[in-house]
């Protein structure tokens, strides 16, 4: 009972400080809302990404609340000082850091990714076998929409620590196919026919990027040409252009009478093959 009386007496003594601390918290909420609106309107005038604007607004709100909570704590417990509070936060942050290591890692990686200029919303990327369009970059995760319509949520630390291929970093991308012709075909003639066929394709960039056709190798049944050209960097543009070029090259080679050979197989026997007598075919 004596302990309960002491607790009650202490609560009554602290009631004015508690009331003032509650008022401080209410004012903190009001100030935080004003700060969020002000930062949002200020960031809207800049050309920063939407995610960066949201990050700036969130950090400003957090700083406002931290300041308000420190003031309220000092009011309720006069023995506390800002230095002791910061020291306690420092000790606690070590334990929190170990407990939420992955969360903070993704958070910091997200901030760095947001400041990157290379990866933007709408870019088509590939990372560790995950390929698709970047639809959203948040603080802890990024959203990748695959070409088959599935959404993949990727931790930002994965995009930060591993190589990322940005396929749409440039508006144009080079595409390569292999085309084989028969051995009895003149190489220069075949190269000329393939080049003219690629030049006629509408999806091929012809003004600033070269069309390259190189004899690549002596294959088992054909002489292979490496055909390279430039087109749009989006996946659908690459597929459309490859379809048009393959169809155009096939049509041009057929019109020129140049054979695209099937795989040939030559069998060599060291001993003469026995010839079956007539009239015994099909007997086992």
Q: Poorest-confidence range of 18-22, 156-160, 180-184, 232-236?
A: 18-22
Evaluate if residue 210 carries a pLDDT over 80. yes
| pLDDT, greater one: 32 or 14 | 32
- Whole-angstrom CA distances from 25 to 31, 32, 70, 86, 152 are 10, 10, 10, 19, 40
Model-wide pTM > 0.85 = no
22-77: per-residue pLDDT in tens?
888 888 888 888 888 887 777 777 766 666 677 677 778 878 887 887 777 777 77
Residue 252 has pLDDT above 90, yes or no: yes
Which has the minimum average pLDDT: 104-108, 149-153, 172-176?
104-108
Q: What is the separation, in whole angstroms, between the first and last Cα of the chain?
A: 111
Mean pLDDT, residues 148-163: 89
pLDDT value, residue 284 = 45
Mean pLDDT rounded to a whole number for the chain: 81
**253-262, 263-272, 275-284: least confidently modelled range:** 275-284
Question: Bridge partners of 175?
Answer: 229
Asked if residues 162 and 156 have their Cβ atoms less than 8 Å apart, the reply is: no
- Whole-number Å distance between alpha carbons of 258 and 185: 7
Most confidently predicted of 26-30, 160-164, 207-211, 246-250: 246-250
Please report, for residues 20, 25, 84, 231, the alpha-carbon distance to residue 73 in angstroms, rounded to integers and kept in the order given.
11, 10, 11, 63
Least confident of 8-12, 63-67, 109-113: 8-12
With pLDDT > 90 as the criterion, what percentage of the chain qualifies? 35
Which tops the pLDDT comparison, 79 or 95?
79
């Amino acid at each position: 009972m004596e302990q309960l009386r002491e607790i009650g007496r202490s609560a009554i003594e602290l009631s004015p400080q508690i009331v003032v601390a509650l008022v401080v918290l209410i004012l903190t909420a009001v100030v935080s809302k004003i700060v969020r609106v002000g930062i949002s309107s200020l960031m809207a005038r800049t050309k920063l990404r939407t995610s960066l604007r949201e990050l700036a607004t969130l950090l400003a709100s957090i700083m406002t609340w931290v300041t308000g909570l420190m003031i309220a704590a000092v009011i309720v417990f006069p023995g506390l000082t800002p230095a002791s509070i910061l020291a306690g936060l420092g000790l606690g942050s070590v334990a929190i850091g170990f407990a939420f290591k992955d969360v903070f890692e993704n958070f910091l990686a997200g901030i760095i990714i947001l400041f990157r200029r290379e990866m933007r919303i709408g870019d088509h990327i590939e990372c560790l076998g995950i390929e698709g369009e970047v639809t959203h970059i948040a603080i802890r995760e990024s959203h990748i929409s695959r070409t088959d319509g599935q959404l993949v949520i990727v931790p930002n630390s994965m995009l930060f620590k591993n190589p990322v291929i940005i396929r749409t970093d440039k508006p144009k991308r080079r595409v390569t196919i292999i085309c084989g012709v028969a051995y009895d075909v003149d190489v220069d003639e075949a190269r000329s026919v393939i080049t003219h066929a690629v030049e006629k394709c509408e999806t091929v960039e012809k003004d600033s990027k070269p069309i390259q056709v190189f004899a690549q190798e002596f294959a088992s049944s054909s002489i292979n040409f490496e055909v390279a050209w430039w087109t749009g960097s989006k996946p659908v543009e690459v597929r459309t252009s490859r379809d048009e070029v393959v169809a155009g090259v096939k049509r041009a080679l057929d019109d020129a009478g140049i054979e695209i050979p099937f795989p040939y197989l030559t069998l060599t026997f060291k001993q003469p093959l026995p010839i079956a007598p007539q009239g015994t075919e099909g007997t086992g």
